[in-house]
Amino acid sequence: MAARKAAGAVYTPDALAGLVVARTLATMPDPPAALLDPACGTGHFLVAAWRALRQRWTGGPPPVARLSGIERDPAAAAACRETLLACAERDRVELGARPAKPRILVADALSHECDEQEGRFDAVVGNPPYVRIDRLTPADRAALAARFGPWLAGKWDLYHCFLARSLEFLKPGGSLGFLTPNQYLLGRSAARLREQLATTAEIAEVVDLCGLEPFDRAIPPAAITVLSRRRPDPGHAVRISAVLPGQGRDAPPPDGRDVVAAIAEAPVATVTQARWQARPWSVLAPDPFLSWLDRLGAPRLGDVCPRMTEGDTRRAEEKAILPAALAPPDWWPAVRGRDVTAAGLAVPAGADRLPPPARPAGPRVLVRDVAPRLVAAPDTGGVRCLRTVYCLALSDAGQAAGLAALLNSDVLAWLYIRLFYSSKMSPRAANFRFQSQFLAELPILLPPPSAMGSGLAAWVRDAYRVPPDEYAGIRSLLARLRAV
Ligand SMILES: C[S@@+](CC[C@H](N)C(=O)[O-])C[C@H]1O[C@@H](n2cnc3c(N)ncnc32)[C@H](O)[C@@H]1O
């Protein structure tokens, strides 16, 4: 398994490969004359493509003759070739097609040895290898960074390079359908990849499978992306949908059939591609939602609290932490994420202790880093915060109670999910990991003191002018996530 993981070799359930192929071919006016899987493994996508082409075959080059694969592992490539030979034999016997040889190249698809394949394919499909940058050798990392630099940033992944490379393999106007981790939709390290895709390709469809586990448990949540290599129209509408936790089956059987049913049932909306660019590609934020947000014109949390830190202690200080019984009496309790509750800070009497800070912290709101929904509390003073708490510094002490109450409201919980639902949102993780880069983007309308108390929920709903039909959706979405 470790070797397979290092090579990013995890094979796709047949039904899911079939769905990706079908959605890719649906964007094309004619069946492709040449289709490539640039990391074909033992051939799951190529067999799915063979099935689809066979159904539409009316003569001409036999289905297998239209298929090409690239695979670095000679054993997987040989297995793929065998399987496709059997497919060709069936076409010969059952369709009367002429004998065909599969074209499976044993090569590194990202290297110059495959440059000849550039611009040759009407369609590219597959499930490219996922290998995080820190698992690549320094030499590979440097070579890929030099080759695909404009597409990469931060902690990039090998599949980012495969997306870039596959666009090179396509003819202008050709279509691509990939299954990848959904991380690229929202993650900061994929900002350049998103910008490149949004400006060089027309995105037909993105389906986020965050609520499904199509593979084994070691694999991150996935997304399907279908796009065409052409300059996008400014008004081009992308189809977006998501299979959320609790909506599909948590542990579908390995053949993936239930995955296909869950994807077919997921509600579809559209978003104008020009709105996306390098911004997070939230598939839960379609055009009407984004227009409403624009009209709201609210300042962002990052403007209200320009200083947002993970905890207020340096690592060296954290090492000095002592149990309450051993700490000097003037040391302060250390706050952990779980001590931040919507009802206020709840630091246990026996909490570990840290020395008081060199400088007083000033007014602030504390936010738990991992929780089923946003949880915030005003700082009551006299506490130190560990890294599981975001500290939001305020210039005005009078704002703390209002801001904490606002962040605890259903409307803000829902806004965070719609805009930045996390790749951590999966059947395995009942919690979100909130991220400061996303928290900073939340639109903030601070409630006045007169709105605090039992009327707060109504005040927030009115102030944010939440469309009534959306409000019903808010409550059911939050209830479903809590039940996960
Ligand atoms: C995630 S698997 C997917 C295989 C197949 N597309 C499927 O879904 O069943 C990725 C495959 O890419 C291959 N691979 C990894 N790096 C490669 C490279 N640079 N060029 C070609 N193939 C590569 C691995 O050996 C592995 O078989």
CATH assignment at residue 387: 3.90.220.10
Q: Closest residue (by CA) to atom 27 of ligand 1?
A: 41
The alpha carbon of 318 and the centre of ligand 1 are apart by a number of angstroms equal to: 43
Ligand 1 lined by 79 (C-beta under 6 Å): no
Ligand 1 lined by 407 (C-beta under 6 Å): no
Closest atom of ligand 1 to 76 CA is 27
Residue 132 lies in a domain: yes
With contact defined as beta carbons under 8 Å apart, do 175 and 49 qualify? Answer: no
Measure the CA–CA gap between 290 and 275, rounded to whole angstroms. Answer: 9
Q: Name 175's bridge partners.
A: 123, 228
Ligand 1 lined by 9 (C-beta under 6 Å): yes
Same domain, 175 and 309: no
> For position 1, what pLDDT does the model report?
46
Residue 272 lies in a domain: yes
Residue 292 lies in a domain: no
Q: Count of domains in the chain?
A: 2
The alpha carbon of 39 and the centre of ligand 1 are apart by a number of angstroms equal to: 4
Measure the CA–CA gap between 281 and 297, rounded to whole angstroms. Answer: 20
Planar angle of CA 50, 54, 59, nearest 5 degrees: 125
Q: The tokens 């496709």 sit on which residue? A: 84
The pick from 11, 20, 46, 216 for probing ligand 1's pocket by mutation, whose C-beta has the most ligand atoms within 8 angstroms, reads 11
Ligand 1 lined by 114 (C-beta under 6 Å): no
Same domain, 68 and 186: yes
Measure the CA–CA gap between 380 and 398, rounded to whole angstroms. Answer: 13
Q: Residue 332's domain spans which residues?
A: 301-483
Q: Which of 222, 256, 283 is the last residue of a domain?
A: 283
The alpha carbon of 167 and the centre of ligand 1 are apart by a number of angstroms equal to: 17
Same domain, 227 and 350: no
Measure the CA–CA gap between 448 and 423, rounded to whole angstroms. Answer: 34
Ligand 1 lined by 37 (C-beta under 6 Å): yes
Same domain, 93 and 140: yes
Same domain, 235 and 305: no
The pick from 16, 19, 73 for probing ligand 1's pocket by mutation, whose C-beta has the most ligand atoms within 8 angstroms, reads 73
The alpha carbon of 22 and the centre of ligand 1 are apart by a number of angstroms equal to: 20
Residue 173 tokens read as 């106007």
Same domain, 238 and 314: no
With contact defined as beta carbons under 8 Å apart, do 386 and 311 qualify? Answer: yes
Question: Which segments of 329-467 does DSSP mark as H helices, in order?
Answer: 400-407, 410-420, 436-439, 456-463
Residue 289 lies in a domain: no
Is the entire prediction scored with pTM above 0.85? yes
From residue 410, how far is each of 93, 426, 451, 472, 476 by CA, in Å?
62, 20, 16, 11, 11
Residue 336 lies in a domain: yes
Give 10-residue mean pLDDT values along the chain (484 residues).
57 88 96 97 97 92 95 98 97 93 96 97 97 94 96 96 98 97 92 96 94 62 95 95 70 66 91 91 93 93 94 89 96 96 94 93 93 91 95 91 95 90 56 87 95 93 89 74 53
Give the CATH number of the domain where residue 33 resides: 3.40.50.150
> For position 98, what pLDDT does the model report?
92
> For position 420, what pLDDT does the model report?
87
Same domain, 43 and 140: yes
> For position 217, what pLDDT does the model report?
53
Residue 295 lies in a domain: no
Residue 290 lies in a domain: no
> For position 470, what pLDDT does the model report?
80
> For position 58, what pLDDT does the model report?
87
Same domain, 150 and 265: yes
Same domain, 241 and 316: no
Measure the CA–CA gap between 393 and 414, rounded to whole angstroms. Answer: 23
Same domain, 226 and 335: no
Ligand 1 lined by 45 (C-beta under 6 Å): yes
Same domain, 268 and 355: no
Residue 359 lies in a domain: yes
The alpha carbon of 420 and the centre of ligand 1 are apart by a number of angstroms equal to: 30
Measure the CA–CA gap between 410 and 421, rounded to whole angstroms. Answer: 15
The alpha carbon of 314 and the centre of ligand 1 are apart by a number of angstroms equal to: 42
Same domain, 254 and 308: no
